[in-house]
Amino acid sequence: MERSADSPQGDETSAENEKPAEPVASLRRKPKGEQQADFYVPTLYDVGTRDFRLIMDVAVFRLSKKDSRPNSRITYDLPDGHVTVTSGANGMASVWDFDIVLMAISHLTESMNRYREGKGEKPGPSFRPPVGDVLKFCRRENGGKQKDSIVGALERLGSTFVSIERKKKVKNKSVTINEGENLIAKFSVITNDDTGKLEFIEIKVADWMYREITEGKNLDVLTVHPDYFLIEPGIGRFLYRLARRAAGKTTATWGFRTIYERSGSTSKFFEFSRMLRSIIKANDIPEYTILEEPGKMGPMLTMTHRAMEEIVPPATGSAD
């Protein structure tokens, strides 16, 4: 089954031809017992979250919890190239599964920063955290069901293939980056035979991610707000990632249709817009204020960083 991200699904929508959207809170409650880690005791889960700018404006995963989308494909045709996501028999990795990749990217970046400062050895591509630390980093409850779900997440991440061909500026010249790999290269799970409980996971990050972090002179990663992990709707998570890349510390405006196409959603455009308006009405996405505005080609979404003290022209990330 293939879904092209630029294929129309449903008619154009406007605020006039549908029922007013009810606000739906985007953030779930913090896990019970969550406390601020001791400032003087660095832990695996107490590291700033980072994400790759290159894949923050397209969904390289599914946004739905119900539709696992096994053996399917999403193709994004973009102005600067294209991205293709292909799933295996285990289903497509979800935006929640991708939290594990974010943890690996974050720790690899942190370790490389320490290495460059002469405070540690150069990290390898493999990462072996205790399962409890994974759950804390992702701000999830530390229960048996959550731990068991990690195995399924690793299986999906290991069988979801992402092919990327996009332009990038390097030293005042434009180059085309062409990469293709599963979201994680390999994984293993360590279980205590006496208790039957998961204790550790070990993952090897994708080669292109490892090279980008350890060899790239201009590291193209962005920090992610800790409350990102509390965002419940998949669309809400995608909106935050999009805002983080497109708006940054300023503002950006994107068309509903473009956001829909970049999300890989299998919903009809009308239904996607309804869900989008519910999130807009709640307006609780971390760091950003989101607002619907009319546009020549249909409804638009303006994403503005809350730290802004005055209105500035939209960033170059504007897309109608």
Residue 14 — very low, low, confident or very high, per pLDDT cuts 50/70/90?
very low
> To the nearest whole percent, how much of the chain has pLDDT over 70?
81
Average pLDDT, integer, range 156-183: 87
pLDDT surpasses 70 at 207: yes
What letters, b where the CB count within 10 A reaches 16 and e where it falls short, cover 194-207?
eeeebebbebbbbe
Under 8 Å between Cβ of 184 and 206:
yes
Residue 47 has pLDDT above 80, yes or no: no
Report the C-alpha dihedral over residues 161, 167, 168, 173, rounded to 10 degrees: 150
pTM passes above 0.95: no
pLDDT of residue 53: 76
| pLDDT, the chain, mean | 84
Q: Cα–Cα distance between 264 and 59 in angstroms, integer?
A: 6
Mean pLDDT of 15-42: 56
Q: What is the mean pLDDT of residues 63-90?
A: 94
Q: Which residues contact 108 (CB under 8 A, 6 or more apart)?
A: 123, 125, 127, 205, 209, 210, 213, 214
Separation CA 261–CA 11 (nearest Å): 14
- The average pLDDT across 154-166 equals 94
Q: Which is more confidently placed, 297 or 312? A: 297
Rounded distance, CA 106 to CA 222, Å? 10
Reference 237, options 275, 267, 291, 266; nearest CA is 275
**Under 8 Å CB-to-CB from 80, ≥6 apart: which residues?**
166, 167
Give the model's confidence band at 4: pLDDT under 50 very low, under 70 low, under 90 confident, else very high.
Answer: low
Please list the residues that pair with 191 across neighbouring strands: 198
How far is 198 from 191, CA to CA, in rounded Å? 4
- Residue-level pLDDT at 251: 95
3-class DSSP state of 305: strand
Domain edges within the chain:
1-26+233-320, 41-230
The least confident of 77-81, 182-186, 227-231, 298-302 is 77-81
- Does residue 15 register a pLDDT over 70? no
Residue 236 confidence (pLDDT) above 60: yes
The pLDDT value given to residue 44:
46
Residue 256, φ and ψ in degrees, nearest 5: -55, -40
Which H or E element spans position 174? strand 173-182
pLDDT higher at 74 or 48: 74
